[in-house]
Every structure is written in C-alpha cells, then in structure tokens.
Structure 1
Amino acid sequence: MKRPGPLLTLLAGLVLGLFMLTLNSTSGTKTASSSYREQSPSASPKTPAKTSPTPSATPSPTPSPSKPPVANANYAGRTDDDAASVAVSVRDGKAVAYFCDGRYKEAWLRGRVNNDGSMKLTAPNGAVLDGRIEQGRKIHGTVKDEGRPYTFTADKAVKPSGLWRATAKVRGAKIDGGWIVLPNGRQTGIVTRDGKTAAAPRIDPETGTVTVDGRQLTARPVTP
C-alpha cells in the first residue's frame, strides 16, 4: 500500500486554511453588524415639549369713583336782562323750576339733574331750561320760552326765599299761583284764574299766606 505523498498533505492543509479563513470572515461580519446595532439608538430621543408660561392674571382697572349726586337745595335769581325771575328746587336728583315775568309769561319745568350738576328741564308749553349747578352755590343757564332765550343766574336760596305755589278754588274759579322770592326779598309771581294770567299779590314768605280775590290761601314751598 502506497503512503499519501507530499502533494496530498499540502492539498489537505490548503483546504483547511481556506475553511478557517471563511469562518473567521463570517464571524467578523456578524460581530461588526451586531456592534453597529447596539451602538445605534433604536429611536430618536424625544424632544421635551415646551410648556407655555401661564399668563399672570391682569388686575382689573380700578373704576374711578363717580361723582356723588348733587345736594338738595333751592336756587332763585333773575335773568340777565332783568325781564323775569327763575327759581329751581333740587331734590334727590330731580328738579322743578319756575320761570315768571310777573305779568303774563310763566312756565313750570321739570326734569332730572345729572351728577355733574347739569340739567335739562322741560315744560308742557314747550319751554326748556338748560343749566348747571356750580359748586353747589349757584345755577347758570338759559330758559328758552316761545323761541326767545333768557340767560340767568340763580343763587342758592334759603327759606323764606325760593319757590312757592298755591292752588285752590275761589268763587268757582280754579286758582293756581306761583311765586319766586329772591334772597333780597324781591317777589315775582303770577296767579292764573281759569287759564287767565295776572300779576300775583304778595305773599308772606314767613307763613306763605296770601289773599286772592278776598280769600286767604296758603302757598307752600315747591319741591320735585
């Protein structure tokens, strides 16, 4: 039996070497691939969500205090042309006024007084009074009657000065009298008898008594 020659031995060694080389190459590829997968993150890191700052509550503006209502008071005065008298009585934000020339022209006006002292009073006959109380001491304004404007100033009046009125029936006639007593004692008034006007007799401002057509009446201070 012949022994294998050197050529067969060399061939066997060559085959073994190729096998080992192929095995090493395969192991190295797997190792590198595994290493890459371990180093690569499986997912991108999440960016933390930004939180909007909570807006601080804005304080509500403090409302400016409103002006208090005007004080209750009476006012009396004359028009700038001295043609008529004007009296105004203010109570609880309301006002009543009397415009009178002492002969035949008169108007009773009513309305509200705003907190700033301004007022617009109206009468059934169409007369209008626009005025404003100034520092609680006087009223400057205008009365427009029968299309004619009369500017006036009425100073604060203390009883017995101010606005007076009396109503009654005398000898079957309806009597309606109005009087304005100025702080200096001067009086202006009209008495209407069943719709007919005439100058009014003087009243006693201390008691309000007045005699009309032979009958004694009592005039009283007028308030809204």
Structure 2
Amino acid sequence: MKRSGPLFTLFAGLALGLFMLSLNATTGEGTASYGTQPAASVTASPSKAAPSTASPSSSPSASPSPTRSAGRPKSSYAGRTDDDTSAVSVSVNGDKAIAYFCDGRTKESWLKGNVEDDGSMKLSGSHGARLEGKLANDRIRGTVEVGGHPYAFTAKKAVKPSGLYRATTEVRGAKVAGGWIVLPGGRQVGIVRRDDEPSAAPPIDPETGSVTVDGEQLTARPVVP
C-alpha cells in the first residue's frame, strides 16, 4: 500500500502534463486561423474599385459637334441693287464671307465678316461701309451701306463663270487694283484703281480671268475668303 502512493502521484503528473500540452497546441492553431481573416478582406477591396475608373472615358459629351456654318461649302452670289444702280457680289467659304459693292464708275467697297449658323451675316469695310444680309434658299437678301447711302439688294447663287473676281499688280510704277462682278447672263460691273484713282474696269475673260489694263496683260482671279 505504501508503494501505490508514489505511482499514483506519477501518473497524475503525467496526465496533467499531457493535458497542458494539448491545450497549448489547440490555442496556437486558433490564433493562426484568425490571423488570416484581415489579409483576405484587404486584397479583395481593390478589385471591386477598379471598374469605376473606366466610366468617365465613355462619356458622349467629350467630342463637340461641328457647326453648320463651318461646314458650308465655297459658293458665290451676285446680283443688282433694288434701284438697279449698282451690283453686289458675296463669296462665302464656311463661316467667312467677302463682299464687293460696285457701281461701275467711281463708287466701290470691299467688305468682310462672319456668317452665322442661320445664314445671317454682318460684314464691314473701310469708311464705315457695312452689309447686313441673310443667306437662304440659294440667295442673299440684305442691305449694303456705302458712303452713307443704303442699298437693298438680292444676290442669287452664281454659276461659273458668274461670280466675284479681283486683280492687284503694279503697272508702269502705278499700283493697280481691280474688282469685277460677273452677273448671271454675262453682264460685268467693275472698277480699276490706279494709285487709288477709280475708273470703269475693262471687261475680263470670265473663262480665264484675262484682262488688259493700260496695255498690260493681267489675270483676275475668283475671290475666296
């Protein structure tokens, strides 16, 4: 009976030691399993946010729509004033325009400006000259004011060789500048200035633009803004 006491104590100590080892092993595994949870949640968040960066580039408002006036083709218009004293021609290219008023004797004016989307235009020239009109149905209806006098006019779309022509050069030391309006039907109205002195212009060959001024051969060319 005296021998059983130490053996019992030994077995009880071994059992207690095994229990403590088992408890420590279980606690260590539990700590490792919880440690993996935050890593999984961090790596998942960037993949969800990535698609949001593609939406701004697909916005349809990024490219502006072109205006109608900027795409308007080159064209010329020519006609007479309502009082039949003068001629007016307008050359249009996109949203730009150049006009020429001429009475075929001494009064003339070159004007330029912009054409709006609705066809309206306000052109200006030297000495306060101005033209206001509107392009619609292949014609321009408006008023041009030159020398303080207003002239209402209608200029219809010109078919070559009708249209607006100009030539500038130097002849025998004098600066020569000429403007011509070739009306539908072939009638011409123009002025040539020699050192700023105006006079009626000789007729041009509408097919080639050839014209003789003071014995010199010149070439009048179509006016394009």
Q: TM-score under structure 2 normalisation? A: 0.69
Correspondence list, 1:53-64, <5 A: none
Hey, what's the Cα distance between the residues in 2 that align with 1:217 and 1:82?
A: 29
CA drift at 1:153:
0.3
Match of 1:10 in 2: none
Which string of whole-angstrom CA distances, capped at 9 and with x for unpartnered residues, describes residues 100-130 of structure 1? 0000000000000001000000002211000
Hey, what's the Cα distance between the residues in 2 that align with 1:212 and 1:84?
A: 22
Aligned: 1:113 with 2:99: no
Hey, what's the Cα distance between the residues in 1 that align with 2:66 and 2:213?
A: 48
Hey, what's the Cα distance between the residues in 2 that align with 1:105 and 1:220?
A: 21
User: Does the Cα contact within 8 Å between 1:68 and 1:115 map onto a contact in 2?
Assistant: yes
Which string of whole-angstrom CA distances, capped at 9 and with x for unpartnered residues, describes residues 19-74 of structure 1? xxxxxxxxxxxxxxxxxxxxxxxxxxxxxxxxxxxxxxxxxxxxxx9972244311
- Residue of 103, 106, 114 corresponding to 1:104: 106
Identity within the alignment, %: 63
User: Does the Cα contact within 8 Å between 1:76 and 1:161 map onto a contact in 2?
Assistant: yes
Larger radius of gyration: 1
Match of 1:87 in 2: 89
Correspondence list, 1:113-192, <5 A: 113-135=115-137, 137-192=138-193
CA drift at 1:88:
0.3
User: Does the Cα contact within 8 Å between 1:67 and 1:116 map onto a contact in 2?
Assistant: no
CA drift at 1:134:
1.0
Structure 1 unaligned spans of 5+:
1-64
Hey, what's the Cα distance between the residues in 1 that align with 2:67 and 2:130?
A: 25
Match of 2:224 in 1: 223
Structure 2 unaligned spans of 5+:
1-64
Q: Secondary structure of the residue that 1:184 maps to in structure 2?
A: coil
CA RMSD for the aligned pairs? 1.3
How many matched pairs?
159
Hey, what's the Cα distance between the residues in 2 that align with 1:66 and 1:148?
A: 38
Hey, what's the Cα distance between the residues in 1 that align with 2:66 and 2:135?
A: 17
User: Does the Cα contact within 8 Å between 1:177 and 1:192 map onto a contact in 2?
Assistant: yes
CA drift at 1:92:
1.7
Which string of whole-angstrom CA distances, capped at 9 and with x for unpartnered residues, describes residues 116-175 of structure 1? 00000000221100000012x100000011111100000000211100000110010000
